[in-house]
Structure 1
Amino acid sequence: MQTALLLLPDFALIALGAWLRRVFHLGDHFWTGLEKLVYFILFPALLFNAITRQTVSLSSAAPLALSGALIMGSGILLGLLARWLFTLPPVQFASLFQCAYRFNSYIALAVAAKINGGAGIAAMGLICGVTVPIANASAVWMLARHGKLGIWRELARNPLILSTVVALIWSSLGLGVAEPLRAFLTRLSDASIALGLMSVGAALRLRGGLSPQARPAAAYLMTVKLLLLPVVALLSNTLLHLSGVDADTTLIFATLPVASSAYILAQRMNGDGAAVAWVISVTTILAMVTIPLWLALAR
């Protein structure tokens, strides 16, 4: 109950975003622009600001990175099982497959910050830096048979990866951040969480989008994402002897709903974007219950 109350303001921001889109009719152009602002400017500033405040060593980062990779790999393997468990058109399967493991980084960083402050953001940034390339490469490979979108160029330009790598190098070299720059980054960081969560709420789409044929597969993939991967995280924490902030971060990572970027990729590559949008919306709503439950159970 205490964990749920702690996260309530963040989930309220998601609900506010959904309400604002429907009541104020700001349109797709406004929300698309807001998401670009958060993704390319505000969240990279948040990651750089948090990571450069921490002392990061390879020996301490390796188990955390490995745990994130194990969780991601488990999601990919369990997602592949849907091909044999359910009868779906190839394009629809390729579109929905990514819903087993792609994660919403906005919610990831918001919850990590709420639970463990700057240390939580730094730890989550490290996991994102390791797993975002895996998630993107796997999704594009499935949708395009080894990709036709220049996957390596897209990964090299990913702002979350770039900001994490630059911040880790900056921190490892012991470089400081001048106070005016630190204040500037802090202002951007403060804006990132609220605007990121509101953009998540604005993207919710529950009407239509999922055919009766796809419902069993969607239910299975949502079970993988919200129920099975957290179990993998708990086992990984035990296996790798993770505790404290690192254990919290891997569990938060495993409980996250599907990323909105899964819908964007499906649309860009002529997949079933409507079905993916429905799964994203449902997992986001369900995660408001499951994330606090998993965190409470682990404590």
Structure 2
Amino acid sequence: METILVALLPVSFLIFLGYLFKRIEFPSIEFWQYADKFTYYVLFPALLVYKLSTASLNEIDGFAFISSSILTLIFITIFLMLLSKFLFLFDGKAFTSIYQGAIRFNTYVFLALTDAIFGDSGLVLAALLMTFMIPIINVFCISIFSIYAASSKITVISFIKSIIKNPLILGCIFGGLLNYFGISLYAPIEKTLGILSSAALPLGLLSVGVGLHIKHIKEVKLELFSSLFTKLALFPTFIFFIGQAFGIQGQALAILVLFGSMPTASSSYILARELGGDLKLMSTIITAETLVSIFTISAFLMLLQGYF
């Protein structure tokens, strides 16, 4: 219990500190917009290259690890589509926001918690998971938009470009290739990446706090509850049992559950805005999941204490 609190509380404090900075407009709203972009395009790719280029990848069963995540994603997708069709009949735009809230994950929180609990070995597994799941989740989300929101604002070519140019995926691939071919970075460059890496997680968590919109949570609606329950309860439960069925144990299984427990990504709002989703609901889901996940992640980590 103490280990979990030591890992989780600093992450929570940094998120709320970011929200406080936004409320008092310190240093300015514009600063945080640029800081978030800098973190996304520079600091986190540096972190991923730095960690992956020197990691030990020999003992990872990548196929079972990734397959567990993909299969869980498929089950959650089918569950939500059946829920919408036969029970609650959600509005199409609302469903796209519910869906994004139920399957996307906050990269900053995921990497920060993985690093705090599992260290470098955990970050390697997290990066491996991200490399595959970021493009796959985007494919699923855009497919749902095409079905439920009848959006034609994105083409196959523009989607492929967005994946190829994703700095997090590029960081994972570049770091992994350096590792695979046994290429060592020039010492000053490696140390530079190390210094940049140390700034990635705290600044990323502050940006998560800046992105919260607590005032939007005025009343609990069925759409909000559906997304919350699916993402913070069903997803981590499903991925736990599917991972066990694939024979995954120990730290790898714990990281899968941690991945499944993450609140949805702040970038969900951007996709909803571009493809015609329910913006108000999306903003509410992002904020509510980020706040509630502090407690649900704690609960799942306590259940998984034997795995780390």
Cα distance in 1, alignment partners of residues 290 and 97 from structure 2: 18
The one-letter code of the counterpart of 1:235 is F
Cα distance in 1, alignment partners of residues 75 and 170 from structure 2: 25
Contact 1:209 1:277 in 2 (8 A): no
The one-letter code of the counterpart of 1:192 is A
- Residue in 1 aligned with 2:127? 125
Return 217-226 or 20-29, whichever deviates more: 20-29
User: Counterpart of 2:184 in 1: which secondary structure?
Assistant: coil
User: Counterpart of 1:55 in 2: which secondary structure?
Assistant: coil
Give the TM-score normalised by the residue count of structure 1.
0.93
Quote how far apart the aligned CAs of 1:86 are. 1.7
1:78-227 counterparts in 2 under 5 A? 78-84=79-85, 85-144=87-146, 145=150, 148-149=153-154, 150-208=158-216, 215-227=221-233
Cα distance in 2, alignment partners of residues 222 and 228 from structure 1: 9
After superposition, the CA RMSD in angstroms is 2.0
Contact 1:140 1:147 in 2 (8 A): no
Deviations 1:75-94 (A, max 9, x none): 32233234223233222222
Aligned residues: 297
Cα distance in 2, alignment partners of residues 244 and 263 from structure 1: 34
Cα distance in 1, alignment partners of residues 216 and 301 from structure 2: 32
Quote how far apart the aligned CAs of 1:142 are. 2.1
User: Counterpart of 2:169 in 1: which secondary structure?
Assistant: helix
Contact 1:95 1:143 in 2 (8 A): no
The one-letter code of the counterpart of 2:193 is L
The one-letter code of the counterpart of 1:40 is Y
- Residue in 1 aligned with 2:276? 270
Q: 1:9 to 1:208 in 2, by over 3 A?
A: closer
The one-letter code of the counterpart of 1:261 is S
- Residue in 1 aligned with 2:48? 47
User: Counterpart of 2:56 in 1: which secondary structure?
Assistant: coil
Q: Which of 264, 287, 298 pairs up with 2:293?
A: 287
Q: 1:80 to 1:296 in 2, by over 3 A?
A: same
Cα distance in 2, alignment partners of residues 55 and 208 from structure 1: 44
**1:261 to 2:267 alignment:** yes
- Residue in 1 aligned with 2:247? 241
The one-letter code of the counterpart of 1:161 is I
Return 289-298 or 17-26, whichever deviates more: 17-26
- Residue in 1 aligned with 2:37? 36
Cα distance in 1, alignment partners of residues 80 and 103 from structure 2: 8
Return 110-119 or 203-212, whichever deviates more: 203-212
Return 81-90 or 123-132, whichever deviates more: 81-90
Quote how far apart the aligned CAs of 1:176 are. 1.3
Contact 1:126 1:164 in 2 (8 A): yes
Quote how far apart the aligned CAs of 1:95 are. 2.7
Quote how far apart the aligned CAs of 1:17 are. 0.2
Quote how far apart the aligned CAs of 1:33 are. 1.1
The one-letter code of the counterpart of 1:201 is G
Give the TM-score normalised by the residue count of structure 2.
0.90
What percent of counterpart residues are identical? Answer: 28
Q: 1:56 to 1:97 in 2, by over 3 A?
A: same
Quote how far apart the aligned CAs of 1:165 are. 1.5
Return 281-290 or 202-211, whichever deviates more: 202-211
Cα distance in 2, alignment partners of residues 162 and 58 from structure 1: 23
Cα distance in 2, alignment partners of residues 147 and 58 from structure 1: 43
Cα distance in 1, alignment partners of residues 38 and 199 from structure 2: 10
Cα distance in 2, alignment partners of residues 263 and 188 from structure 1: 27
Quote how far apart the aligned CAs of 1:179 are. 1.8
Quote how far apart the aligned CAs of 1:71 are. 2.9
